[in-house]
Amino acid sequence: MDTQRIKCLAICLSCFFFVASCVQGTDKTNDSAGVATTGTVTDDDLGYNAVPVENGGSISGTVTFSGTIPAPRTVVITDDVEACGESVKIQDIEVNVGGGLRNAVVSLVDINSGASLETLASSPVLEQHLCRFVPHIMFAPINQVVDILNSDPISHNIHTVAFDNRTFNRTQPPSLDKIEASFEIAEKVKVKCDIHGWMNSWIVVVDHPYHAITDAEGNFVIENVPPGTYTLEAWHEIPGATKRQVTIDSGQTTDLSIELKQIS
Ligand SMILES: [Cu+2]
């Protein structure tokens, strides 16, 4: 083979690998609006290694709130009364008689291998019902489609507020049964409706399964954690976050009491 033919072959091979890399590089799940098109998530995409967990331990506990609990806010409604009612009562901090804080997110923030993300119990459906987002806070595995539904006979508007993910802002009339959205980067994304100012919720985008949302008593459980020492974060939208070190022993349950203090 002469020199000229070798050069041509080298150029052809370079073009082939360039085109192949471009095709692979366009395999994204979001369009420019952050609204989902296609895509399948694997743990390999996440920078998190899914491995079998043998003799894992658990973390259980309670998140409590310390401080003055704000009184419920009553918002008088003037538009869309037929769907929303004449007023809505907003309780920003829900605490039970024992101080247990509902809707706090408890997470291991520095774990890089463990059970597959698929083991996280999540139902990524966000519904707009009676002019409220339901649920108020939810998990969405990274790149997984979130179905956004409108069961009200009026239009709502889904406006996301994010730091790392692309935001989107779309009106959803009653005729549009479902909007599909997905998020590429793990972070807490706020969702609001610009039409009805009291409507807001949170989508917690996660890239591993070691998270929990506290129940009405402030309780949480995180299971099947590989033994080791991790940083655990508890977060709520009003008081904010606190972190601590936690050590997980094989086959054992680590009990925690976590206090979130009112921001002064
Ligand atoms: Cu709305």
Q: pLDDT digits over 16-58, tens only?
A: 333 333 333 333 333 333 555 334 455 555 578 999 999 999 9
Rounded to whole angstroms, the Cα distance separating 193 from 148 reads: 12
Q: Which residues contact 245 (CB under 8 A, 6 or more apart)?
A: 229, 230, 231, 232
Rounded to whole angstroms, the Cα distance separating 160 from 182 reads: 11
Domain membership flag for residue 23: no
Domain boundaries, position 220: 43-261
CA distance to 74, 130, 149, 196, 251, per residue, from 133 (Å): 17, 8, 10, 11, 38
Give the distance (Å) from ligand 1 centre to CA of residue 247.
43
- pLDDT tens per residue, range 215-225: 999 999 999 99
Number of domains forming the structure of the chain: 1
Domain membership flag for residue 34: no
CATH number for the domain harbouring residue 150: 2.60.40.420
Mean pLDDT by 10 residues, the chain (264 residues): 47 39 34 43 66 95 94 92 94 94 97 92 90 96 95 96 95 95 96 96 96 98 96 96 97 97 78
Rounded to whole angstroms, the Cα distance separating 139 from 122 reads: 6
CB 43 within 8 A of CB 117: yes
Give the distance (Å) from ligand 1 centre to CA of residue 181.
17
Domain membership flag for residue 166: yes
Domain membership flag for residue 3: no
Domain membership flag for residue 36: no
Domain membership flag for residue 237: yes
Give the distance (Å) from ligand 1 centre to CA of residue 193.
5
pLDDT of residue 33: 39
pLDDT of residue 219: 98
Domain membership flag for residue 29: no
**pTM, entire model:** 0.82
Give the distance (Å) from ligand 1 centre to CA of residue 168.
15
* DSSP label of 82: H
Rounded to whole angstroms, the Cα distance separating 163 from 182 reads: 15
pLDDT of residue 22: 33
